[in-house]
Chain A
Amino acid sequence: MRKSTLLSLLLVFALLLPGFVLAQDTTTEEVDVLADIIMPRLEEYNAAMEEAGYGTLKLDDFMVMLAEDPEVVVLDVREVAEVEETGIIENALHIPLRTLGENLGLLPDLDATIVVVCKSGFRATLGMTALKVLGYDNAKVLVGGMGAYLAEEYPVVEMAEEVEAGEVPADIDPLLLEYVAANLANLPEGWGVVTPANLFEEMFETMPDLLLDVRSAEEWADPGYIEGATHIWVNEIMPNVAELPEDLEANIVVYCASGYRGGIAMTMLQLMGYTNVRNLAGGINGWIAAELPVLKDA
């Protein structure tokens, strides 16, 4: 009796199990996060770029903003050790970039003005772009980061204040958030920076699969471009996704004039699933400053 009961139970399980597995498979097939959520959101973000601007904020304007508007949120995304070394802007939130997605509860509402800062502006651009994709339309990046801020001897305090986490804004799609958070958490060691000298050296051996220039057509014409580059203006990346490599592991290097639009483009490509994207530090300005060659169309 017992044996037969056990056997029939096992039989029932064996029959049901594939059903469960299949049922779960169909659920994941129903929502393709990348195609159904990420890509449309990136298209929306990209289309609004012309009117909304890129979100770069110069130090002088940042200081005026701080004096004028006590509601401005300063978000420092540097690592803990960096903040300990230099101090932090008073009343700033401190959330290291890789943990930003998990800590949105610390930020105010979607319409708040949030200025993201890091050491030079490179990482903050990635953080700002991620926030904008999530719907924080007034996210900005401090150009030159804490490096520029500290060079002017503007004041800092030793550590960030403890802030109690609130609710994540209800308007953010949980699947979008989960995806973006994972993307930030998996940012590569070195953040995807490539210096002009290193890129130039690399290019002797192997050209990137895509060297993407995201500046405007006028900038491509003058001061020129890096040999082998493909031109897609950052504002028009989404209408031109067909020009991007099929292979998500392709070696992609992005550049703009100074690095900010490159950072925006890099984050967009990473969110599309590309796993090997880097951004030229200092952009073509840094490249030219390092006396490396540029081409100009006649």
Chain B
Amino acid sequence: MEPWERVWIDAEAFGEDIHSYINCTECHGGEAVDDFEAAHAEQITPVVNSPEVCGRCHVDNGQPAWDSLHNQLTGYDTALYARSAPEHYGTLEEMEANHCNSCHATCGDCHVSQPTSVGGGLVKGHDFYTTPSMSQNCTACHGSRVKDEYYGAHEDISSDVHFRARMACTACHVADEMHGIDMDNLANRYDGTQDPSCESCHEDIQLGKDSEIREHEIHQPEDMSCQVCHSTTYINCINCHVEQTENGTPFFTVEENFLGFYIGLNPEVTEERPYRLVPLRHVPIDRESFSFYGENLLPNYDARPTWVYATPHNIQRNTPQTETCKSCHDNNDIFLTIDKVAEDELIANENVIVEEAPEW
């Protein structure tokens, strides 16, 4: 998107939009004067304060959306602070302010412009839209994992079966979930109810029930998540470090990434997610990830696994796992066994490592 396009208002389209009755400065600040410098003297930002701006009219969504994981990014805090210690929280906050600020999803990031993390830009000439665009909103942030897996961008790996069935993100991830309605105080996205779950649609093929699918009848809901059999190779990342350039521009470097598929133990068995086995994805946290900001900022690095619960968005009916029973049984290659975990990460992952594949 060209710089001018990002801020261009389509008079015809926006003129039809109810939001065009509101003064520009009401939401954006600045001065409504015919002089570039004066008009932009005050820092004009996209609208970030959802409860006070959008929430004035959208009373049901404003506050929950503000409090939601989408905006607060609580999942990151949960994962980082557990590995750190209270005396470093201030430094980590400073780091987050530099590197994570553009990731907080505001109302506008989904309903009027591309997210700030990809440079923003009005999608439809400032016309607001109810359903976010999969290509310009959702995958702008959820790119390297969700998008590439869902679209089938990795070589020789098919796109997700739901993508092939013409389902955009919002087909599963509906407004209430996205706005965090009735989802208070979640620690991360795998906290609370599973909504949507696979069973929300696939009611009659649940594990352990009469479904005329032998494999579904043999395995029990406590045994594994659906993705254990029905997702396939996904991306894993190693060693992300954040830094700043001399003039203070923040950037990150992910040292390595690889495609793989590993079944391990569920790091957190709950009533909502009772599975013993789940696919695990390696996240790029490293003891030195934030060392640009200070020494040993993650003293409790071993408190959480680096191989984490994953729900890869590349669901297939047929996968290498579904070929035969022995694709998993007696096959250590597909499980996160000790030999696949870096030596420095053995303690962190001790609760998710599988001793050996189940016998056949």
Contact = CB atoms under 8 A, between A and B. Distances in A.
Is there any pair of Cβ atoms, one from A and one from B, under 8 angstroms apart in the complex? yes
A221 interface: no
A5 to B, nearest CB: 69
Interface string A203-244: 000000000000000000000000000000000000000000
A81 interface: no
A155 B164 contact: yes
A6 interface: no
Contacts of A90: 166
Contact of B158 (A60, A64, A68, A153): A153
A192 B290 CA distance: 62
A270 B220 CA distance: 65
Contact of B163 (A63, A70, A153): A63
Contacts of A152: 152, 158-159
Contacts of A60: 151, 153
B134 interface: yes
A64 B164 contact: no
Contact count band on B:
10 to 19
B131 to A, nearest CB: 9
Given A68-B133, A68-B134, A68-B135, A63 B168 contact: no
Contacts of B159: 63, 152
Nearest to B150: A67
A37 interface: no
Interface in A36-84: 60, 63-64, 66-68, 70
A154 B167 CA distance: 13
A67 B133 contact: no
A105 to B, nearest CB: 26
A67 B168 contact: yes
B134 A63 contact: no
A155 B134 contact: no
B165 interface: yes
Contacts of B168: 67-68
A154 B152 CA distance: 11
Contacts of A154: 164
A57 to B, nearest CB: 13
A155 B163 CA distance: 11
Contacts of B153: 60
Nearest to B131: A68
A155 B135 contact: no
A180 B116 CA distance: 46
A63 B158 contact: no
B135 A64 contact: yes
B134 A64 contact: yes
Contacts of B151: 60, 63-64
Interface in B129-154: 133-135, 151-153
B165 to A, nearest CB: 7
Nearest to B151: A60
A88 B167 CA distance: 19
B166 A67 contact: yes
Nearest to A89: B166
A66 B171 CA distance: 13
Contacts of A66: 166
A68 B163 CA distance: 10
A67 B158 contact: no
Contacts of A64: 134-135, 151
A173 B130 CA distance: 37
Nearest to B165: A155
Nearest to B136: A68
Nearest to B160: A67
Contacts of B133: 68
A199 B172 CA distance: 52
A90 B153 CA distance: 23
A155 B164 CA distance: 7
B156 to A, nearest CB: 11
A152 B153 CA distance: 12
Contacts of A153: 158
A60 B158 CA distance: 12
Contacts of B158: 152-153
Q: Among the interface residues A63, A64, A66, A152, which one has the most CB atoms of the partner chain B within 10 A? A: A64
A67 B138 CA distance: 13
Interface in B12-62: none
A282 B18 CA distance: 49
A63 B158 CA distance: 13
A216 to B, nearest CB: 20
A63 B166 CA distance: 7
A45 B49 CA distance: 45
Contacts of A155: 164-165
A263 B170 CA distance: 37
Nearest to B159: A63
A286 to B, nearest CB: 24
Contacts of B134: 64, 67-68
A63 to B, nearest CB: 7
A154 B163 CA distance: 10
Contacts of B165: 155
Nearest to B153: A60
A152 B158 CA distance: 8
Given A70-B166, A155-B164, 5 more contacts: A60-B151, A63-B159, A63-B163, A67-B134, A68-B134
9 contacts: A63-B151, A67-B134, A67-B163, A67-B167, A67-B168, A68-B168, A90-B166, A152-B152, A155-B165
Q: Which A-B residue pairs are the 4 nearest by beta carbons?
A: A67-B168, A66-B166, A67-B166, A68-B168
